[in-house]
Structure 1
Amino acid sequence: MSAGLIDVHAHWLPSDLFGLPSGSPYGAMRDQDGELFLGDLPLSIRTEAMSDVNAIIADMDAHEISLRAVSPPPFAFAVNSSSENYVEDYNASLSKVVAESSGRLAGLGLTRLDDESSAVRQVAGIAKAGVLAGVAIPPLLRGESLDTGVLRSVLESAAEHRLAVLVHPMQLPRPEWSSHYLANLIGNPVETATAVAAGILGGVLEELPDLRICFVHGGGCAPALLGRWSHAWHARADVRAGSSSDPRELFRSAYFDTVTHDQNTLDLLAAHAGQDRILCGTDYPFDMAESNLPAFVDKGGLDRAALQRSGQTFLGLARDRRGHDD
């Protein structure tokens, strides 16, 4: 192995927090005969894969992953209530497993999503503690995205405190996506593309040049829409009102993971973003995870050393070792 792979997109939730934040729209998670359920919905995941650090490390060893950044599954986002205790308990548990992992794990924690000042305070607390690499947030929140409200405040605070941000969709239900797993297959990429567009056209990526933000699932359908956004930015005053740079330029200021399930899509993403903005991701342990990361990376012609450098930079490890970012 010429360079250890750094997986920035994987999930972990301890079993004592399977109850999820109060007001969760999905119902609690639970174990049933070793299989994980979300309410009455089977997740097709062994319970230990989500909750057991030893199982996570074993999966890493089997797939040439030297470092894995774990974050909460998206249904653990505290979207409908303060859930102060749940957020603090998760971050404390995550900090503990990261500290005890001998450098194998990094962590992306939670913030409250109901109150801007509380969210900003929690981001500052994570930075002060110095254990977690950043936070994970949803792309959409109560009809808003990254350019307004709580989500924008979290991004501003993360940039100020030099923390990484992982943007992960929540598989929000819509009637037309109620069958064929379309809430995931279409909904997740659309949620993410909406957040990318809000970050670009809303001026967030332009105004926060120090922000290290990663959009998972290869940016959703954003790479395929970037040309349309660019055309509209030049053609319409309302589209360019919030930013002063072509979307094609601002796209290269974000990071995107490799979870695209398709080499042509990965090629398109790399062409738009540049290889230094591509990060390894697996989506472990979900059913939509990339099961063989090394093979996918190598088949796609991605340079492992470049992926490692980008992963270290995103997680703040390059800065920690030399006192500044790459």
Structure 2
Amino acid sequence: MSTDLVDVHAHWLPGELFGLPPNSPFGAMQDRDGELFLGDVPLSIRTEAMSDVDAIVADMDASGIGVRALSAPPFAFAVDADVPAGEYTDAFNDALAEVVADSSGRLVGLGSVRLDDADAADRQIHEIASQGALVGIAIPPVLRGGSLDVGVLRSVLRSASANRLAVLVHPMQLPRPEWSKYYLANLVGNPVETATAVASSILGGVLEELPDLRICFVHGGGCAPDLLGRWAHAWDARRDVRVGSSTGPRELFRSAYFDTVTHDRAALDLLRAHAGKNRIVCGTDYPFDMAEADVAGFVDAAGLDRSALAAGSREFLGLNIRSEVSA
């Protein structure tokens, strides 16, 4: 199979870090007879799919993926404000850098940062950029009652932009009582978390302030493509909606990247109608149960041009920048 796709959205975590960051809201990950659990909740994936690099590369070969960007699973984000997680995130970044270095160019890395202290995160981002082993970072869309327009997350985006690092925004599947059944924390919660981050980055002026920021929202932007018209109408109609930005939502939407994990041709078509040129990138969500198992078949059936997808993915990840620097 041709391996011309560049997957920006896949996950990896080494077994020695299954304990997750201090005070993780989900409890530790566990391997039970080859199956992966989060606390006592089965994740419906084999442990090796998350932690074994050979299994990851074998999936790439079977799926037509030439290059894959690995990031931590979202429950490994260091979201607790009271316990510094520099030791954990540094350990993940070091392990990921080693995996990338040994991959003969097949894998690139999106590291993790501590989210308890903006200044500490800034220093960590600068170190990631200086070392040059990883191409970016992955962060949650919401944090302690805020989103990308405020607090630590906004500071992290400023720092990532200044250091020319890509940013992947991935929802955390946060629990709520009304989403306790039918996997709704994922099926409804994840798209809502992501749409909140997209709206906050647009209406809060983040994308306007940071025009060079390379930021990708996974799962096709969640609910955002469906709501963009509503946001644009409100931006025209209400002063409080446009107080944080001087550019309309439709234009700013086109400056972000969005992956193909939509599970629906019509949803992907709507995203294509709103997104900017080369701003849709290939994603799989490997190895989770909501992953797009046949990504090549899905993008081909949707009429997406593989070369354009690859160009967008490389642009987001900064692989072209790295090639220029190393030349």
Give TM-score, length-normalised by structure 2.
0.98
Is 2:208 the partner of 1:206? Answer: yes
What residue is the counterpart of 1:196 in the other structure? 198
Is 2:17 the partner of 1:9? Answer: no
CA contact (8 A) 1:283 1:289 kept: yes
The 3-state SS of whatever aligns with 1:10 is strand
CA contact (8 A) 2:3 2:61 kept: no
CA contact (8 A) 1:3 1:305 kept: no
What residue is the counterpart of 2:261 in the other structure? 259
- Taking the aligned partners of 1:3 and 1:57, their CA distance within structure 2 comes to 11
The 3-state SS of whatever aligns with 1:145 is coil
The 3-state SS of whatever aligns with 2:9 is strand
- Taking the aligned partners of 2:323 and 2:141, their CA distance within structure 1 comes to 31
CA contact (8 A) 1:2 1:305 kept: no
Spell out the pairing of 1:168-179 with structure 2 (5 A cutoff): 168-179=170-181
- Taking the aligned partners of 2:313 and 2:101, their CA distance within structure 1 comes to 19
Offset at 1:322? 2.7
Letter in 2 for 1:235: A
- Taking the aligned partners of 2:108 and 2:138, their CA distance within structure 1 comes to 12
Letter in 2 for 1:53: V
CA contact (8 A) 1:3 1:304 kept: no
Spell out the pairing of 1:119-134 with structure 2 (5 A cutoff): 119-134=121-136
Letter in 2 for 1:276: N
What residue is the counterpart of 1:320 in the other structure? 322
- Taking the aligned partners of 2:101 and 2:305, their CA distance within structure 1 comes to 29
- Post-superposition CA distance 1:236-257 (Å, at most 9, x none): 0110111111100000000000
Spell out the pairing of 1:5-154 with structure 2 (5 A cutoff): 5-80=5-80, 81-154=83-156
- Taking the aligned partners of 1:258 and 1:22, their CA distance within structure 2 comes to 32
CA contact (8 A) 2:78 2:114 kept: yes
Letter in 1 for 2:290: M
The 3-state SS of whatever aligns with 1:242 is coil
The answer for unaligned runs of 5 or more in structure 2 is none
CA contact (8 A) 1:3 1:308 kept: no
Offset at 1:274? 3.2
The 3-state SS of whatever aligns with 1:260 is coil
- Taking the aligned partners of 1:20 and 1:117, their CA distance within structure 2 comes to 22
Offset at 1:79? 0.5
- Taking the aligned partners of 1:3 and 1:22, their CA distance within structure 2 comes to 39
- Taking the aligned partners of 2:236 and 2:258, their CA distance within structure 1 comes to 25
Give TM-score, length-normalised by structure 1.
0.98
- Taking the aligned partners of 1:25 and 1:146, their CA distance within structure 2 comes to 20
**Superposition CA RMSD, Å:** 1.1
- Post-superposition CA distance 1:64-95 (Å, at most 9, x none): 00000000000000011311110110000000
Percent of residue pairs bearing the same amino acid type: 70
CA contact (8 A) 1:31 1:37 kept: yes
- Taking the aligned partners of 1:202 and 1:292, their CA distance within structure 2 comes to 36
The answer for unaligned runs of 5 or more in structure 1 is none
CA contact (8 A) 1:218 1:257 kept: yes
- Taking the aligned partners of 1:222 and 1:242, their CA distance within structure 2 comes to 18
Is 2:258 the partner of 1:279? Answer: no
Letter in 1 for 2:12: W
- Taking the aligned partners of 2:325 and 2:236, their CA distance within structure 1 comes to 40
- Taking the aligned partners of 1:169 and 1:162, their CA distance within structure 2 comes to 23
- Taking the aligned partners of 1:82 and 1:139, their CA distance within structure 2 comes to 20
Letter in 2 for 1:17: L
Letter in 2 for 1:20: L
Change (3 A) 1:63 1:275: farther
